[in-house]
Amino acid sequence: MARIKVRKPQAAQSRGEFDKFVDEVARMDIKIEKKEAELKKKHQELDDKYGEAIKRLANDRDELMQRAEPFFFEHQSELCAEGRREGATKLARFGVRLGNPAVTKAGAFKKLAWKALGAVFHASDALRKFTRETFEVDKDRILAAFRDAKSEDPDVKKAAEADVAVLEKNAIGVEQTDQFWVEPIADDQVKGE
Residue 190 near residue 27 (C-beta atoms within 8 A):
yes
pLDDT at 110 over 90: no
What percent of the chain is predicted at pLDDT more than 70?
95
Q: Tell me what the pLDDT averaged over the chain comes to.
A: 90
Query: How much is the pLDDT for 184?
Result: 86
- Cα Dmax for the chain: 82
Element (H, E) at 15: helix 15-74
pTM assigned to the model? 0.54
Q: Which of the pair, 36 or 136, is modelled with greater confidence? A: 36
CB 164 within 8 A of CB 173: no
The b-or-e profile of 56-86 (16+ CB within 10 A means b, else e) is eeeeeeeeeeeeeeeebeeeeeebbeeeeee
> For the residues 2-8, what does the mean pLDDT come to?
75
Stronger pLDDT, 19 or 186, i.e. the higher one: 19
Report d(CA 142, CA 160) in Å as an integer. Answer: 10
